[in-house]
Copies of this chain bind each other. A is one copy, B any other.
Amino acid sequence: MPVSITTARRAREFAAREELIIREARKFLLERGFQGWNMEDLAQAVEYSKGTLYQHFDSKEDLALAVCTGSLQQRADLFERASNFKGGTRERIRAICCACCEFATAHPEYFHADMMLKSASFWDKASEERREDHRIQAGRCWRTIQQIIIEAQAVGDLPRDRFKPEEATFALVSVTVGSHIMAMEGDMRVMAGITDPLIAVRRNGDLMCDGLGWKPLSFEADYAETDRRIVREVFPGATWLKSA
Enumerate chain A interface residues (CB-CB to B < 8 A).
30-36, 112-113, 115-116, 118-122, 135, 138-139, 142, 162-164, 166-167, 169-171, 173-179, 181-185, 187-188, 191-194, 200, 203-204, 206-213, 219
Q: Nearest Cβ in chain B — how far from A170, in angstroms?
A: 4
CA distance A13 to B23 in the complex (A): 50
- A207 partner residues in chain B, CB cutoff 8 A: 171, 208, 211-212
Q: A112-B115, A187-B138 are in contact. Are A33 and B122 (CB under 8 A)?
A: yes
**CB atoms of B204 and A135 under 8 A apart:** no
CA distance A181 to B176 in the complex (A): 12
Q: 5 shortest A-B CB distances, which residue pairs? A: A178-B178, A211-B211, A36-B121, A33-B121, A33-B120
**CB atoms of B169 and A174 under 8 A apart:** no
Which of B119, B121, B170, B182 is in CB contact (< 8 Å) with A177? B182
**CB atoms of B208 and A33 under 8 A apart:** no
**CB atoms of A35 and B121 under 8 A apart:** yes
